[in-house]
Every structure is written in structure tokens, then in C-alpha cells.
Amino acid sequence: MMQPQPHSMPSGSARPRIGLTYDVEEDPERWLLEEETMPESPLHDQVIDHLRLLVHAWIARTRLGRAYVARNVACRWDPNDARIGMDPDLVLLDPCPQDIESIKLVKIWEIEPHSLKLAIEVVSETTAEKDYTDAPARCVRLGIAELWVFDPRLTGPTTTGGPFRLQVWRLEEGQMRRVYMGPGPAHSQALDAWLVVTDGGRRLRIANDRLGQSLWLTQAEEQFRRAETEARRAETEARRAETEAKRAETEAGRAETEAKRANEAERQLAELLLELAALKKT
């Protein structure tokens, strides 16, 4: 059962919104997954890869390897028909099976209950209808706690009020409820973070704050930022050393000048003493 509930109007919108509650009839024939994989656009691929790396870095920071984020892994709920299920662009398992890296098929009857924490779908022209309408219903059957649907090109259908750049669905009491739809930002309970749309709507980032001032980084981005910080520190130290060297050079030049002045004064004094001695003899 999929029941979008009444929700608040996104900020900046002048049109009132209404809530609709409706049931989706499960249709096994329609939900059969095709074996052929549709080609993904470069934008779709880039968004998914970056999100996967962000969640992977979050796992490394907070989950100590207990969780796993998988791309396009087959998730199935029907023991009698392995063709019925969902292949999310990304799915987060927490905790994950010990042999997750070798698993090609996630069977919900073989994993720990409530371990499917998050699914992410990035909409493309070929998957728009499925991502908007089928994905929430399939998440209910799989027991996925939260679903993000990101539509960077706004190619989704208008039948459910869209298209929307970002949707967040949440499983509540056995029903999938759309808790956010709009341009972002939106809060994720699964990661306890904020989803922020950037780059003119072409990227979905994760942040610690609503304004996106503290964006999450991938491990590669963290290493790059660390190296950049070290390079700036080294540059600052080099400039400081150069300044000190110039100051020392200036001081050395001043000391040399003073020494020459002292030598000249001693020479002049010696000449005067000689002249005085000569005068005394006369």
C-alpha cells in the first residue's frame, strides 16, 4: 500500500497543495524486472557515483564497516519468483551480510529485519515513470525505511503533481509516505543529514546543515582538501622563511654598514693621532 499523506507547502510556492491517499494494486506481471539493463546517461552515472562515495565515507566515519552501500544490487521479496523485486540505483544495508561484496541478490527473507535503511533513485528519461510511481511501492514490499528520488532534469511525470527535483519518502507503519517534494533542501532520517541540490539542480549533495555550508566529502575529497591545506600551510611557512631571510639579510647589511663606519672612524682617528704626534715633535 502506498499512501502519500498531507504535507506542508514548499517554501516559495504560491499554489496551495492537497494531500491524496490511494492504494496501489500489486501487479506481479507489471513488476517483473527486465533482464536488459538500460544505458545510463553520463549525468545519471556521475550523480550516483558521487552519492555512493559520500555514503561510503559516512559508513567509514560512523559505522566501522557494519554497513554497506551497493549500486544496482538486485533486491527481492518473493521467494517463489526471483524476477520480482527492485534494483535501486543505490541501497544502504545496515547491518549488512558478512559476504555482501560477493552477493548479487539480496533476499529480504535471508537478511536481518529492518536492515534496508535507504534506497536512492536518480531519474532519467527511461526510468522516470518507474522511479516516480513504482519505486515507492516496491520499497514498501522490501521494507526499505527511506527513499530518495532525485530528478536532475525534471523529466518525471505530472500525474502525481510533479515533476519535482527532490522527493523523500519514508516508511511509517507499513506505508510509504512522501514527506518532502520540491527543490530542496530536505532532511534525511536515515543519515541524520540534509539533502541539498547544487550546481543548478544537477547535483545532490549531503550536508550537516540545511543551508549546505557544511557539505559531506568523499574520502578522495577529504584527502584533496587535507593536501590542499598542507600545501597552503607549507606555502605560508615558505613565505615566512623568505621574510625572515630578507630580514636577516637586511640586518646583516646594516651590521656590515656599521662595521665599515666603525672602521672608517678608527682610520680617521689613527690619522689624527699621527698628525698630533708629528705636531708635538715640531
Tell me how far CA of residue 182 lies from CA of 7, 153, 197, in angstroms: 11, 13, 10
- Give 184's contacts (C-beta < 8 A, 6+ positions apart): 165, 166, 195, 196, 197, 204
Q: Is the pLDDT of residue 2 over 50?
A: no
The pLDDT score that the predictor gives to residue 3 is: 47
pLDDT value at residue 8: 44
State the cell numbers at 127.
526510468
Residue 1: its pLDDT value, please?
47
Position 221 confidence tier, pLDDT thresholds 50, 70, 90: confident
Mean per-residue pLDDT, 5-22 = 52
Lowest-confidence segment of 92-96, 140-144, 232-236 by average pLDDT: 232-236
Q: Which residues does 14 contact at the CB level (< 8 Å), separation at least 6?
A: none
| pLDDT tens readout for residues 197-217 | 999 999 999 999 999 999 999
Q: Residue 57: CB partners within 8 Å, gap ≥ 6?
A: 216, 217, 218, 219, 222
pLDDT digits (tens, 9 = 90+) for 154-175: 999 988 788 999 999 999 988 8
pLDDT of the residue at 220: 81
- Look up residue 247 and give its three cell numbers: 630580514
Given this model, what pLDDT does residue 31 score? 57
The mean pLDDT of 56-68, rounded to a whole number, is: 85
For a pLDDT cut of 90, what percent of the chain falls above it? 39
pLDDT of 107-136, one tens digit each? 888 888 899 999 999 999 888 999 998 999
Mean pLDDT calculated for residue range 83-99:
88
- Mean pLDDT throughout 58-62? 88
Span 257-263, average pLDDT:
89
Return the percentage of the chain with pLDDT > 70, whole number.
84
Q: Which domains are present in the chain?
A: 42-216 (3.90.1570)
Which of 54-63, 220-229, 240-249, 266-275 shows the lowest per-residue confidence on average (mean pLDDT)?
220-229
Query: Which of residues 229 and 237 earns the better pLDDT score?
Result: 237
Cβ burial, residue 266 (10 Å; 0-12/13-18/19+) = exposed
**Residues in Cβ contact with 150 at an 8 Å cutoff, skipping those fewer than 6 apart:** 47, 120, 121, 122, 123, 165, 166, 197, 204
Asked whether the predicted pLDDT for residue 11 surpasses 60, the reply is no
Distance CA 5, CA 20 (A): 6
